[in-house]
Amino acid sequence: MARIVSLLTMLACWQAGAGIAGPRLLPAPMAVGAAMLAEARSGALFANLGATLARVIAAFVIAMAIGSALGLWMGRSRLADRLADPWLVVLLNLPALVIIVLAYIWGGLTETAAIAAVALNKLPSATVTLREGARALDPKLDDLAHVFSFSRATWLRHVAAPQLAPYFAAAARAGLSLVWKIVLVVELIGRPNGVGFEIGSAFQLFDVTRILAYSLAFVAVMLAIEIFLVQPFEQHAARWRPSSSRRQN
Amino acid sequence: MPRVGVPAALDVRIDGKFFQSAAGKRIPVLSDFALRIETGEVAALVGPSGCGKTTLLRLIAGLDPDYKGNIVKPARGRLGMVFQEPRLLPWRSVFENLRIAAPGAAHDDLDALLTAFQLGDCRDRYPGEISGGMARRLALARAFAVEPDLLLLDEPFVSLDAKLAASLREELALMVERRPVTTLLVTHDMDEAITLADRLILLSGRPCGVIADIGISERRGARPPELIAAIRVEAARRLANV
C-alpha cells in the first residue's frame, strides 16, 4: 500500500513537472506511454529489449560465476588473496568507459568484446562481496566438515553455499543494476541494436519521449527480475530461519 | 578391558603442544603426554577447565596438525564427534543433518536412529525450531550415524540443566552399551565420567599430566549409586594426593 502511494506521488510529480517544463523537455506520462505502445506495436521495442536483456544476462552470469569462484578462493586462501588483490584493485578503479573503449579497440566492435567489457566491469565488485562472505564462513562448521570427512562438493553445497547466499544475493542485486547501466553504454558506443543504441539515436534528435519510453520499459523488465527472481531466491535461501527474525514485508 | 597383544585402538603420544600468546610467548599446553585406549573401551578424561582437554581432542580429531608427537587411530578410522555445542547445519533439516554426515547410510537406518534418540517427530524441522536438548540428541545421533570406529565426546552435555544432562547421559550410556565403540569422553563432570566410562583418567592442570587411571568393571547403566559414590571418593582421594 505504501509503495503504491509512493509510486502515484512520483507520477503526480512527473505530470506537474511536465506542465512546467513543456513537452519538448519533459513529456507527460501519457505521451511516454503512447510512444511505448507505438514502439511495441512495431515490434522494435521487444527486439531492442531482448537484445539488451540477452547482453545483461550473459555479462551478469559470466561476472557472477567467475567473481564468486575468485572471491571464495581469495577469502579462503591468504596466498590467493595476496596474489589477486592488486589485480582486483586495478580493475575496481579502472573507469567503465576505459574498459569498454579498450575492449572495442582490442576485440573489435563485436558482441564478444561488448559482453566481456561489461562482465569485466562487474567482476571486481562481485569478487569483493563474495570474498567478504568467504572470510565470514564459520570455522566451527569447517571443523565439523573435517571431522566427518565431508567431500568437497558436500562442503560447498551444504556448509559454504548457505552461508554465502546473503552475500551472493547482495552481489546479484547490486550487479544487475550496474550491469544493465553499463550495457547501455556499450550499446551506445558500439552496437547496432538494443536499448542503449535506441537512446543514442533518440539523443541525436533530442527525442526525450523515446528516451523515456525505452529506459522506463527496461526499468520495468529489471523490476520484474528483482521481484520474480531475486526476492524468491532470497526467501528460499532464508527458509530455515525462524520466522520471527525474517524481515516483515 | 585391556587385551595383551592386540593393537590399541587409539595410541596418543604428545611430546609438545604450544600455544602462541598474543605477546609472542610460547605457552606449553601439553608435554610428554601419553594415552592408550583399547578397542571398544570407553575412557573418560576428567580434569579442570582449561587444562588442555579440548586441545587434546582437537589433535586426535585431526583439526590441529601443529604439534610434536604421534597419534595412531583405528585402522579404518571413521570418526564420530560431539562438540561442546550441538554444531548442526541450521539450514538443513534434522534428517538432512544426519544424511549429510553419513551419506552412505540407508535412510531407514537413519530414521531408526532418529527414533532411538526420540527425534522421530521433528525429522523435517530445522535445528532452529527444536529445543536445546533435542539439538544435543541430534548431535549424538549424528556421531552414531557414521558408525564410528572412534567416538570423541567433548563435554557433550555442558551448559545443560542438571536434570536434562542426567537423562541424556542415561540415553548415551544405553546407546554405547548397544553399539560398542571405542570412545574418548572429555569432561570436567565427575558424575558424567563415572556414569559413562569403563576407565577414568584424571588429569592435572597445565601442562596436562595423568594423575590417576581408575578402571570400572560394572556394566554401564547397572551401576548402583553406592558404587558411583565410592568411585567419586576414590577419585577425590587420588586428586588430593597430588
**What is the tens place of the pLDDT at every residue in B178-200?**
888 899 999 888 888 888 899 99
- Report the residue of chain B nearest A160, measured CA to CA: B89
Chain A closest-CA separation from residue B141 CA (Å)? 13
The answer to whether residue B1 scores a pLDDT higher than 50 is no
Amino acid symbol at B165: A
Give the confidence band of B127 by pLDDT, cuts at 50, 70, 90.
very high
Question: With an 8 Å Cβ cutoff, are B81 and A147 in contact?
Answer: yes
Grid cell at residue B108: 531407514
Interchain CB contact of B65 with A (< 8 Å)? no
- Report the residue of chain A nearest B128, measured CA to CA: A242
Sorted by where each begins, the domain ranges of chain A are 47-239
User: Chain B residues with CB inside 8 Å of A242's CB?
Assistant: 126, 128-129
- For the segment B128-156, the average pLDDT, to the nearest whole number, is 92
Residues B60, B183: Cα–Cα separation, whole Å? 12
Interchain CB contact of B174 with A (< 8 Å)? no
Grid cell at residue A94: 579502472
Question: Between A146, A162, A241, which is nearest B63 by CB?
Answer: A146
- Report the residue of chain B nearest A146, measured CA to CA: B63
For chains A and B, CB pairs below 8 A equal 51
pLDDT of B3: 43
Question: Which of A157, A159, A103 lies closest to A136, judged by CA?
Answer: A159
The answer to whether residue B5 scores a pLDDT higher than 50 is no
Residues A73, A51: Cα–Cα separation, whole Å? 33
Residues B237, B4: Cα–Cα separation, whole Å? 30
For domain A47-239, which architecture applies? Orthogonal Bundle (1.10)
pLDDT of A243: 66
State the pTM of this model: 0.82
pLDDT in tens, chain A (249 residues): 888 999 899 999 999 999 999 888 999 999 999 999 999 999 999 999 999 999 999 999 999 999 999 999 999 999 999 999 999 999 999 999 999 999 999 999 999 999 999 999 999 999 999 999 999 999 999 999 999 999 999 999 999 999 999 999 999 988 888 998 999 999 999 999 999 999 999 999 999 999 999 999 999 998 899 889 888 988 888 888 876 554 444
What is the longest distance spanned by two Cα atoms in chain A? 71
Question: With an 8 Å Cβ cutoff, are B89 and A140 in contact?
Answer: no
* B82 SS3 class: strand
Question: Which of B86, B61, B100, B103 lies closest to A155, judged by CA?
Answer: B100
User: Chain A residues with CB inside 8 Å of B80's CB?
Assistant: 148
Test the B interface: residue of A137, A142, A147 with most B CBs within 10 Å: A147
Chain B closest-CA separation from residue A140 CA (Å)? 7
For chain B, what percent of residues have pLDDT higher than 70? 95
The answer to whether residue B75 scores a pLDDT higher than 80 is no
Question: Between A141, A146, A240, which is nearest B62 by CB?
Answer: A146
Interchain CB contact of A246 with B (< 8 Å)? no
Question: Between B62, B78, B129, which is nearest A242 by CB?
Answer: B129
pLDDT of B8: 61
Interchain CB contact of A241 with B (< 8 Å)? yes
Question: Between A148, A154, A242, which is nearest B128 by CB?
Answer: A242
The answer to whether residue B2 scores a pLDDT higher than 60 is no
Interchain CB contact of A153 with B (< 8 Å)? no
pLDDT of B171: 84
Residues 22-61 of B with CB under 8 A from A: 58, 61
